């Protein structure tokens, strides 16, 4: 009991990581509805992608990021201690509260009715990477030469114009959720590289190119810059956001 008390008192100690993020409007959209944040003191990374076809997507993504930054304080993380389940619970509850904030804002302003976004969160500490997400914003982990996609898109098949298949979001921030947001924990070590991104990045570049850019970049800033450049070169059909963490 005494040992557990002192472990909790020590709190969730982040591993040292180099964080950086970059966002770009892309080549076809009139404005950028993506938002992101990095918080190096607690190794927190966030990406939100305002939903196309809904009002005020850029507002939803900004409010979602701001809400998580306010809620997921160093004090809250420290209080969770070294328990992976306590940290997972904290992240899930934070995501739920964030969704409430976005829905309340939409309900209070007619111009924002129906707004939403996708969202992915990454938190590194004590040799673990915690990832929680809603929608099709993704998280990847490059460990050695192997790139692993950590998130499963919350989408289902739909029909576009002329009966052409397209992805339809089944879950998003700004709408009721049938269940808790996904939250997984994976072990990480020094030298691993984390990527969070909007679909404007991963839909433009294949996994082998993501892995090559992450693996070859000398710094996380160089990696994110190169990812955005190549996504634009591939067409830049949507807003592009890349947030990286080099451990």
pLDDT of 224 over the 80 cut: yes
pLDDT digits (tens, 9 = 90+) for 129-146: 999 999 999 999 999 999
pTM given for the model: 0.91
The CATH T-level fold of domain 13-246 is Phosphatase 2c; domain 1 (3.60.40)
**pLDDT at 213 (0 to 100):** 98
Mean pLDDT calculated for residue range 165-183: 89
pLDDT for residue 162: 45
pLDDT in tens, 177-188: 989 999 999 999
Per domain, the residue ranges of the chain are: 13-246
- Which residue would you say has higher pLDDT here, 128 or 157? 128
pLDDT at 5: 37
120 or 6: which carries more pLDDT confidence? Answer: 120
Q: What is the tens place of the pLDDT at every residue in 8-64?
A: 434 555 567 999 999 999 999 999 999 999 999 999 999 999 986 567 999 999 999
Give CB contacts under 8 A, 24+ apart, made by 90-97: 91/121, 91/123, 91/130, 91/132, 91/183, 92/132, 92/180, 92/181, 92/183, 94/68, 94/121, 95/68, 95/119, 95/121, 95/132, 95/134, 95/181, 95/183, 96/177, 96/180, 96/181, 97/67, 97/71
Tell me the average pLDDT of the chain. Answer: 91
pLDDT at 193 over 90: yes
* Average pLDDT of the segment spanning 167-179: 91
Does residue 163 surpass a pLDDT of 60? Answer: no
């Amino acid at each position: 009991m005494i040992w557990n008390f002192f472990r909790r008192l020590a709190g969730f100690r982040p591993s040292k990581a180099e964080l950086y993020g970059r966002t770009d409007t892309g080549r076809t959209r009139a404005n950028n509805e993506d938002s992101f944040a990095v918080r190096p003191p607690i190794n927190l990374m966030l990406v939100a992608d305002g939903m196309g076809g809904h009002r005020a997507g850029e507002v939803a993504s900004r409010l979602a990021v701001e809400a998580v930054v306010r809620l997921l304080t160093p004090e809250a993380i420290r209080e969770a201690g070294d328990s992976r389940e306590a940290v997972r619970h904290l992240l899930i509850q934070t995501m739920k509260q964030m969704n409430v904030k976005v829905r309340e804002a939409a309900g209070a302003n007619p111009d924002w009715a129906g707004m939403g976004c996708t969202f992915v969160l990454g938190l590194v500490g004590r040799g673990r990477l915690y990832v929680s997400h809603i929608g099709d914003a993704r998280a990847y982990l490059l460990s050695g030469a192997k790139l692993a996609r950590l998130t499963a898109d919350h989408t289902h098949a739909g029909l576009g114009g002329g009966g052409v298949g397209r992805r339809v979001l089944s879950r998003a921030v700004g709408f009721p959720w049938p269940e808790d947001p996904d939250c997984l924990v994976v072990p990480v070590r020094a030298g691993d590289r984390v990527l969070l991104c909007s679909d404007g990045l991963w839909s433009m570049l294949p996994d082998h190119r993501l892995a090559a850019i992450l693996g070859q970049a000398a710094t996380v800033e160089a990696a994110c810059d190169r990812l955005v450049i190549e996504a634009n070169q591939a067409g830049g059909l949507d807003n592009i956001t890349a947030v990286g963490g080099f451990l």
